[in-house]
Structure 1
Amino acid sequence: MPGLYIQDIPHKGRGVFCGHDLQEGDTIELCPVIIIPPSEVPSIHGTHLHDYYFLWPASPGAACIALGYGSLYNHHRDPNAEVIMDLDAAMIEIRCSKPIPAGTEILIDYTDGGSAEAPLWFQEE
């Protein structure tokens, strides 16, 4: 989507923003993915890539790296965007789940709608 940009956020790193208002249901981004087979997933633990991959449900134990800005969206338990996986096309759609004013960080839920007690691999701010 035109207007997406990356901005540094204190104590968080980088985040994805949009320069114009987004409405519920808008496709924010379509991201092709690089699928990591289950046998290779352990090799990314302990690397910087560990913080940027998604589990890939088409193959148990597999993961993927989303291209574009796809692996850079930050987490929030009350996100303003959702992740929709197209397993056949090997794509991830980032879709607006509530109105997002221009200049607001676009956030997804890393727990895939899990409970608020679901463990994360980082400390939430």
Structure 2
Amino acid sequence: MLYVAFSGSKGRGVFTRKKIERDTVIERCPVLELPPEDLEHIDQTAIFNYYFSWGETMDSAAIALGLGSIYNHSYTPNALYRYDMEDRVIEFIAIKKIRPNEEITINYNGSPNDQSPLWEGIQWEP
């Protein structure tokens, strides 16, 4: 049902071949957990663009397996993500109907309505 394709200036993105109804779990991605001490190293690599904050105090990182780390950001997303730390997964859920061949997007800030600038205050040089 899901596939990866070119998404303009965003590079690769996740798309759906079939219609997805609102409130549908699109994907449940297991994660690779990384401890806080690894973050300073990750932040100097391309992985910086693909990890989620993780843990009880959000001081760790998680790389979502499956397609989880490839979903692109939008301030008007059609999906959201939610953590299930007990099962060590990130779920991606449709928040509106998604049409066939439409890109599935999430708001990287966590809340679909959060219009804050991304990564505010983070200095990163590739």
TM-score in terms of structure 2 length: 0.89
Amino acid at match of 1:115: D
Alpha-carbon spacing, 1:60–1:101, altered in 2? closer, same or farther (3 Å) = closer
In the alignment, which of 69, 89, 100 is matched to residue 102 of structure 1?
100
Structure 2 contact 107–114 (Cα < 8 Å) conserved? no
Structure 1: which 5+ residue stretches go unaligned?
Answer: none
Cα distance in 2 for partners of 1:115, 1:90 equals 24
Amino acid at match of 1:87: M
Consecutive aligned runs of 4 or more in structure 1 exceeding 3 Å deviation: none
In the alignment, which of 34, 37, 50 is matched to residue 35 of structure 2?
37
Match of 2:53 in 1: 55
Structure 2: which 5+ residue stretches go unaligned?
Answer: 121-126
How far off its partner does 1:64 sit?
Answer: 0.5
Match of 1:115 in 2: 114
Cα distance in 1 for partners of 2:8, 2:76 equals 20
Query: Please, what is the CA RMSD of the aligned residues?
Result: 1.5
Cα distance in 2 for partners of 1:10, 1:45 equals 25
